[in-house]
Amino acid sequence: MSATKHPPLRGPSLPLAALLLLLAAILALIAPPTRAGGPFAPVAKVNEKVVSGYELDQRARFMQILRAPGDVRELALKALIDERLQVEAAERMGIEATEEMIAQGMEEFAGRANLTAGKFVQMLRSAGVAEETFRDFVRAGILWREVVRTRFAPRVQVSDAEVDRALAMAANPAGLRVLLSEIILPAPPELAAEAERIARRLARIRSFSAFAAAARQYSASRSRDAGGRLPWMPLSNLPPQIRSQILALKPGEVTQPIPIPGGIALFQLRALEEIDAPAPTKVTVDYMRLKLPGRSGEAARKEAARIMARTDTCEDLYGINKGKPEELLERVTKPMAEVAGDEAIALAKLDPNEFSPLLPREGGSVLLMLCARIPELPQEISREEIRKQLANQALAQYAEGFLAELRADAHIEMLGQ
């Protein structure tokens, strides 16, 4: 089909109205499609409340700024729908969030990224996210926490027998080993807030397959390809702060998010069993910490591989570091309870003379090598700490179940997006 030829347009020969109509037609052809009804048109209806296209765009942009993995629009819509249900539950119970509570919540949230609320809001504004978007997000979280606390805290009764059982296991884990899966979420300062939100969602997982899928999607650990699955390890290998959480779990349940430098760790209990060999309840670890300043990514991995190929024992690292600044190599001997989060997690998975994965640090990376584990006398374990762990676990289960009920009972209608 041959193209129809038009005579050349001459501005003076067309009236102004015709020119405006022609311009509008051209713009309609080349402009990107917009959502029907404009940016404030509803994209979902949750009972009598709506989620607008503007809110969805803002929340998706918020997640994108924080580099949330996955489909940010899908995640944003689900979060906004859940928040409508959570806020509605708070309204029915007469629960409100004061301006002081919201301001404190905003400061706390921004502080996880090492920023003040004011600086965090400025950063969001510069990327096109309104302060109200951040404020609404924080307000919904505060209201939901109050709903859960008010509705379920009186129901959470941890018996002395449950505490005694957990204490007995924690105080004398000799003959116990655990089968865990892990997720290590990267959480540099600019991503810390969104990483914590993802971690709280992952902590609600109760399925082995769902946790494995999440590990493959989110985890930065080298166990991710195996769905986060770790081999059997003695319970005493774990630092006490993690051990107490593990002992409060049933198979399939997940720990609360555990902050570590530059990240967040979660563990799922797959199994716990008795073994014949006794294990100490308190352990001092002897290990080497080798700093690789200025190296990260592929360069750090190549250097680590070169070092590992030349090293059989901890003593060999002194020769590796010969001629370099002494402060790059440090031998550390301390109780496991005093080891920093990511180092404790890395060391728990090692046998003597094994290397850890590279641990990111500001300005470079760190490589650990376990030299020995030294058993010590049992430590005193707090009944209140165990009771708190058990109560928090029960409260999280109540909250998850209540939100599922709210979704099931709600009328949720997806409109045009």
Q: In the predicted model, is pLDDT for residue 6 greater than 80?
A: no
pLDDT tens for each residue of 31-89: 333 445 567 788 999 998 999 999 999 999 888 776 665 678 888 899 999 999 999 99
Q: Whose structure tokens read 């001459």?
A: 10
What spatial distance separates the first Cα and last Cα of the chain, rounded to whole Å?
37
Report the range of poorest mean pLDDT among 30-44, 145-159, 205-219, 277-291.
30-44
pLDDT the model gives residue 160? 81
Mean pLDDT throughout 87-100? Answer: 94
Q: How far apart are CA 5 and CA 411, in angstroms?
A: 55
pLDDT value for 136: 94
- The 10s digit of each residue's pLDDT in 376-397 is 544 555 778 778 888 887 888 8
Is residue 211 within 8 Å of residue 227, measured between CB atoms? yes
Task: Determine contact, residues 211/254, Cβ cutoff 8 Å.
Answer: yes
Percent of the chain with pLDDT strictly greater than 70: 83
CA pair distance 139, 118, nearest whole angstrom: 17
Cα dist from 90 to 49, 127, 143, 312, whole Å: 14, 31, 6, 60
Give the model confidence (pLDDT) of 300-351 as tens digits.
888 889 999 999 889 889 888 888 888 899 999 888 878 877 888 899 888 8
Instruction: Locate 4 and state its tokens.
Output: 């129809």
Q: Is the pLDDT of residue 187 over 60?
A: yes
- pLDDT of 237 reads 84
Ordered by where they begin, the domains of the chain are 42-154 (1.10.4030.10), 173-279 (3.10.50.40), 282-376 (3.10.50.40)
* Amino acid identity for residue 247 in this structure: L
| pLDDT at residue number 381 | 59
Q: Which amino acid is at 165?
A: R
Task: Tell me the percentage of the chain whose pLDDT exceeds 90.
Answer: 35
CA distance 339 to 347: 9
**Averaged pLDDT score across all residues of the chain:** 81
The pLDDT of residue 130: 93
Residue type at position 211: F
What 3-state DSSP class applies to 27? helix
pLDDT value at residue 355: 92
pTM over 0.75? The answer is no
How far apart CA 403 and CA 196 sit, in angstroms, is 19
In this prediction, residue 23 carries a pLDDT of: 38
Q: Quick check: 10 pLDDT over 60?
A: no
Tell me, what's the pLDDT at 141? 92
Contact (Cβ atoms closer than 8 angstroms) between residue 366 and residue 358: yes
Residue of 168, 157, 201, 158 whose CA lies nearest to 183 = 201
Q: How confident is the model at residue 279 (pLDDT cuts 50, 70, 90)?
A: low
| Residue 225, pLDDT score | 93
DSSP label at 229?
B
Region of 170 please: left (phi>0), alpha (psi -120 to 50) or beta.
alpha
DSSP 4: P
Query: Of 195, 202, 196, nearest to 253 (Cα)?
Result: 202
- The per-residue pLDDT for 321 is 87
Residue range 267-276, pLDDT digits in tens = 999 998 876 5
- How many residues are listed for the chain in this entry? 417
Q: Quick check: 264 and 187 in contact, CB under 8 A?
A: yes
Of residues 163 and 128, more confidently modeled? 128
- Return the higher-pLDDT residue of 9 and 379: 379
With b for 16 or more beta-carbon neighbours within 10 A and e for fewer, the 204-237 pattern comes to: bbeeeeebbebbeebbebebbeebbbbeebbbbb
Question: Minimum mean pLDDT among 26-35, 93-102, 189-198: which range?
Answer: 26-35
Q: Among 99-108, 123-132, 212-221, 376-385, whose mean pLDDT is lowest?
A: 376-385
pLDDT at 17: 43
Under 8 Å between Cβ of 239 and 348? yes
Q: Strand pairing partners for 5?
A: none
> In angstroms, what CA-CA distances link 376 with 78, 282, 283, 337?
49, 5, 5, 12
| pLDDT confidence bin for 142, thresholds 50/70/90 | very high
Is pLDDT above 60 for 173?
A: no
Q: How many CA atoms are closer than 13 Å to the CA of 116, on its beta-carbon side?
A: 3
Q: CB within 8 A of 380, min separation 6: which ones?
A: none
pLDDT score recorded for residue 395: 85
Buried b (16+ CB within 10 A) or exposed e, 296-318: eeeebeebbeebeeebeebeebe
pLDDT digits (tens, 9 = 90+) for 237-246: 888 778 878 8
Whole-number pLDDT of residue 280:
53
d(CA 340, CA 319): 26
Going by C-beta distance under 8 Å and a sequence separation of 6 or more, which residues neighbour residue 133? 55, 58, 59, 62, 124
Distance between CA atoms of residues 201 and 257, nearest Å: 10
Tokens standing for 102? 């919201």
